[in-house]
Structure 1
Amino acid sequence: MSIIRLATLEDIDELVRMRWEFSEEENSDSTLNYEEFHQTCYEFLVKAMKSGDWYIWVAEDSGNIVSHMYLQLIHKVPRPGKSPDPYYGYVTNVYTRPAFRNQGIGSDIQLAMELWSKENKVEFLLVWPSSNSVQFYSKNGFFRCDEAMEKHF
């Protein structure tokens, strides 16, 4: 049974390693070596976690992190009659190590994130899923919407 918890600064080395693994699994054409990546990603995660706008849920099995899900709070411009600090959550960097997939761990993390989001008055969660992850998000209550637009540079 996995333990679901919020990540701490002590978890950053393992989170960097998992980000590297995830990227290697998706695209092994990296021109960056691990040491360079580690420094860049480590600095990003320290800053992100200290900002109060990023939260990372992890699943531990036998003391090792086996899965994670990141949430970035996006602050909205206040509106009359609404919460004084409105925000929504952007879900990203969801990864489970291959040996732990299809065991419900990702759903457990997503549920913990959802409960925290409700308690902290997050208006809604948003995710841009890969084609491989649409089924996971659908079974966990996410649905397609046509409201967002994007522009690439």
Structure 2
Amino acid sequence: MLRTRSVESRDLDLICEHRQKMFRASGKPREEELTTMHLPFREWLGPRLADGSYFGFIVENEGDVIGGIGLMVIDWPPHPSHPQDDRRGYVLNMFVEPDYRGQGIATDLMKMADAEFQRRGICYAILHATSKGRPLYEHLGWSGTTEMAKQY
């Protein structure tokens, strides 16, 4: 039986593990980059879990965690897409264990994210999609943007 609950501070290690698995599944970062990221991410996440600025949902099946999603409200200047709001919703760390994919769990997590952002008065949200995740997000009404990146 599936059960969904809110992310809690005790989920620190679990979220760190999901993040590693999520990036590993994307095939993009090298293993050494994941290793290098682990401790700084954990140190970044801890205080945000504690103060509630990182929130989200965890899905369990008979006590075993099978997926989760992280959410944040980030400071952002008013923009043509949200001209009177100085915030954006941000979706991160979406992960479903491989044995449970294709069962609608990711869809349900995204719908919970939408509802939570709406409850908080957020009118615009962003995420970074892998090629595997893009069809799900597009099906749920998300569209691509013109974002680019540069690493220094």
The TM-score normalised by the length of structure 2 is: 0.79
CA-CA distance at 1:46 after TM superposition: 0.8
Is it true that 1:12 corresponds to 2:4 in the alignment?
A: no
CA-CA distance at 1:43 after TM superposition: 2.0
Q: 1:63 to 1:38 in 2, by over 3 A?
A: farther
Kept in 1: contact 2:91–2:126 (CA 8 A): yes
Q: Deviations over 1:54-98 (max 9, x none)?
A: 22221111112211112221123479x946xx4111212211110
Kept in 1: contact 2:90–2:125 (CA 8 A): yes
Q: Deviations over 1:91-132 (max 9, x none)?
A: 122111101101111111111111111111012111221111
Q: Deviations over 1:22-52 (max 9, x none)?
A: 3333348412786x76543332221222344
Tell me what 2:31 maps to: 30
Tell me what 1:123 maps to: 123
Gaps of 5+ in 2: none
Kept in 2: contact 1:71–1:91 (CA 8 A): yes
Divergent runs of 4+, >6 A: none
Q: Distance in 1 between the 2:125 and 2:66 partners?
A: 23
Write out aligned runs for 1:59-138 (5 A). Answer: 59-77=59-77, 82=84, 86-138=86-138
Q: 1:101 to 1:124 in 2, by over 3 A?
A: same
Kept in 1: contact 2:12–2:42 (CA 8 A): yes
CA-CA distance at 1:144 after TM superposition: 2.8
The TM-score normalised by the length of structure 1 is: 0.79
Q: Distance in 2 between the 1:127 and 1:65 partners?
A: 23
SS of equivalent to 2:143:
coil
Q: Distance in 1 between the 2:10 and 2:96 partners?
A: 19
| Percent identity of paired positions between Structure 1 and Structure 2 | 18
- One-letter amino acid matched to 2:32: T
Moved more, 2-11 or 41-50: 41-50
- One-letter amino acid matched to 2:122: V
Bigger Rg, structure 1 or 2 = 1
Moved more, 57-66 or 93-102: 57-66
